[in-house]
Amino acid sequence: MTTTLLDTSKGIVEFSYRGVGPAVLLIKGGHSTRETEFSHSSLIYEGFSLLTVSRPGYDYTERSTGKTPVEFADTIIEVLDHLNIERVNVIAISTAGPTGLALAAFYPERVSKLIMEAAETTGRMDEEGNKLLYTPTERILLSSLRQLLKLFPDVAMKHLLNKWTTEDAEDYLEKLSPNDRRFIYDLLDTSRSGKGILPKGEQTDFDIGHLETPVLGMYSQKDKKVQYTHALLLKSLVPDCEIFEVDADSHLIWIGKDARQVWDKRLEFLTQ
């Protein structure tokens, strides 16, 4: 994938911009890199252009570009200005949720719609678990897990799924199709710790009760990583918000028996 580096007022930020048509901004979740694919690239073939901005601490994006969601939202606006993009549809995944909300809250004139895909509404709700995400020990563990993936892929994937599903991880893995198993393998294989944002930087300390932007939240009841309470909070606070409950067995709402419904719902929301 061809990427571009932009020297913003807060530091270097990496992004890719592909396709022709209405712009969709994709902000990936924690440990995702430029190679991590959640199937959103197919939006290009549906008539959209896809702008993917690497989060602070990942790929070549410097941590200084956003130590809080609000600061990173400011940086993203500089990217939009550089590309002469007036308005975007935003898709925020997992821990990128607060950044998506910050964009909608502070730049409503630049955000047409916001989709929260298994996305945190506030980092505070999972603070205890998130404390483990950005430590030297965690970096070593993630690196070891990728090595294990090469030798014993099922063992490595089950270790990951134990944190992402309320179901039995072994049973869940056995039910998956070869393509879905490949999705998890590639997700783990492309994950990196980088110099990721500390948990305190992911917390939503601004008011989302006055958002003017239409919001679609897609969540699973069986998501162990981003619990369904995030969906309930989003629905209770945001005036124009629809929650689509995904019949998925884990945090990975992009695979499994309801994956097509997720794709169709996303397209419907973007085009309506």
Q: Is the dihedral of CA 43, 44, 48, 53 positive or negative?
A: positive
pLDDT for res 149: 83
CA atoms of 229 and 53, how far apart (whole Å): 27
Dihedral angle at the C-alpha atoms of 43, 108, 78, 33, nearest 10 degrees? -40
The whole-angstrom separation of Cα 216 and Cα 234 is: 10
- pTM equals 0.91
Tokens of 174: 């056995």
In this predicted structure, what is the pLDDT of residue 141?
Answer: 67
Q: What topology is assigned to 4-128+194-271 in CATH?
A: Rossmann fold (3.40.50)
pLDDT in tens, 39-60: 999 999 999 999 999 999 999 9
pLDDT, tens digit, 9 for 90 and up, residues 194-241: 665 544 444 567 889 999 999 999 999 999 999 999 999 999 999 999
Tokens of 89: 């549809």
Backbone angles phi, psi at 35, to 5 degrees: -85, -15
Write the CB contacts of 185 (distance below 8 Å, at least 6 apart in sequence): 149, 153, 157
